[in-house]
Amino acid sequence: MTASVKMAGCLLYGERTVIKKIFHLILVAMLASAAMAQDVSVRPDHPDEYVVVEGDTLWDISGKFLEHPWQWPAIWHANPQIENPHLIYPGDRISLVYIDGKPRLVVNGDKPTVRMSPEIRALPRDPIQPIEWDAIKHFVTNARVLPPGDYSDLPYVVANENDRHLASTKDLTYVRGLEGRIGEEFAIVRKRHIYYDDNGVMERGKHHRYATHLRIMDEYPDNVWDATLSWRVKNPPILGVEFWDIAVGRLLKEGDPAILEIQGGRTEVKSGDYILPIDDYVHDPQLIPHAMNPVPEGIEVIALTQTTYGSGHYQIVAISAGNNQGVEVGHVFSTFRPGKRIQDEVKYPTGSFADQKTLNGDKVTLPDQWSGHILVFRVFDEVSYAMIMDGDRPVRERDILKHPDETL
């Protein structure tokens, strides 16, 4: 397969059609209608009124009034004076009222704004965001999971100018296999993870080319492990390949190698990095949180993107489900740390006669522990990315996902 064909395929993969946009609008309307019918839990200590300040988000404000902030679409009260109940601004007054016995959040007392003339022209204000997009704006388009395939024919960086190991903005880098127009910009990317099916469980690993050989479970079990790891699956089915955009390069000269000038990026470019089309993904600024109901069993946190032990507020995680499992942008999940299986030392002390008489009675599995809420902001075929919104403890790999109303 030629590089130009593979580049075209990647473009098709990232393209959003008009039909998909129309479907999204219909889905948003359906979700908003369905949300109005759901039961919400109001915080007993909610304020009578809250004045919006710069830096607030809809999630934050709703959390002052609701036990479950993700339910905000259910109680934002639409009325003729508010064209879009999700567009509120610093200085607006938010209060909770009851309409027909149901709680509703209203803006500025749910009263029309009377404008007098003449008036001083007000400076334009930006509405507050549903979530803290600024915390993840670089990640939204910096990571992508492409479907299984042979990416060995992708254009790649063979060297940097002046034999530099790392190249950055305004440096030149040399690429083999690239076809394009002079002046065209490309994404310089780095393969990060391979997501694969290990006997029905999604695992993530690194290809042996990038393996550190420090943690075997972090490495993809391909042929390099056949001799020593016979119990591992040989070449297991790949579910997706994660690439991170690290820089943007502009084509200065065609040839073999072609010359790219690095325009900027999140990290330095080195030999072995790949070239892909610029990701044209644009997030929906008016994201509407909603629950996946029911939540299929077996969905887990598969990777932490900004740490190795545990992630917290506004950090990013990858989960082991995507479009093919019905996951959508806006889905909210509760994450739970699986309960440990322990010895019942009260009735069956280790080594006691009571312990020796039973096979399973001496063991008990503790309840799963709630970690926090995560909100999905980007979805691929088998993997999705989500932001941690709140929680009691760090979210870890292998935390399991449940309905967002569950916290015990």
Q: What is the pLDDT of residues 350-400, one digit of tens each?
A: 777 777 777 766 788 999 999 999 999 999 999 999 999 988 889 999 999
Neighbours of 124 (CB within 10 A): 5
| pLDDT of res. 361 | 67
**What is the secondary structure of 117-149 as a DSSP string?**
SS-PPPPP-PPPBSS-GGGTHHHHTTEEEEPS-
Nearest to 87 by CA among 123, 57, 51: 57
% the chain with pLDDT above 90: 33
Domains of the chain by range and CATH?
Answer: 38-108 (3.10.350), 142-276 (no CATH), 290-350+363-402 (2.40.10.410)
Split at pLDDT 50, 70, 90, the class of 156 is very high
| pLDDT of res. 225 | 42
Per DSSP, the three-state class of 50 is strand
The answer to whether residue 320 scores a pLDDT higher than 90 is: yes
Distances (CA, A) of 335 to 17, 126, 198, 252, 317: 33, 32, 22, 48, 11
Query: Helices marked H in 121-202 — which ranges?
Result: 137-140
Neighbours of 401 (CB within 10 A): 26
The answer to whether residue 125 scores a pLDDT higher than 60 is: yes
Q: Note whether 206 and 218 are within 8 A (CB).
A: yes
How far apart are alpha carbons 386 and 319 in whole angstroms? 7
Per DSSP, the three-state class of 209 is helix
Split at pLDDT 50, 70, 90, the class of 135 is confident
Split at pLDDT 50, 70, 90, the class of 323 is very high
Mean pLDDT computed over every residue of the chain: 78
Per DSSP, the three-state class of 20 is helix
How far apart are alpha carbons 66 and 71 in whole angstroms? 8
Split at pLDDT 50, 70, 90, the class of 175 is very high
% the chain with pLDDT above 70: 75
User: Which of 95-109, 193-207, 285-299, 314-328 has the largest mean confidence?
Assistant: 314-328
**Tokens representing 129?**
């965001």
For residue 83, give the DSSP letter.
S
The pair phi, psi for residue 298, each rounded to 5°, is 95, -5
* Pairwise pLDDT comparison (242 vs 135), residue with the higher score: 242
Nearest to 68 by CA among 289, 270, 271: 289
* Pairwise pLDDT comparison (87 vs 44), residue with the higher score: 44
For residue 93, give the DSSP letter.
E
Burial (CB count <10 Å: 0-12, 13-18, 19+), residue 96:
buried
Q: Give pTM, 2 decimals.
A: 0.77
Nearest to 206 by CA among 222, 229, 230: 222
How far apart are alpha carbons 286 and 76 in whole angstroms? 14
| pLDDT of res. 265 | 81
CA atoms within 13 A on the CB side of 243: 23
| pLDDT of res. 48 | 87
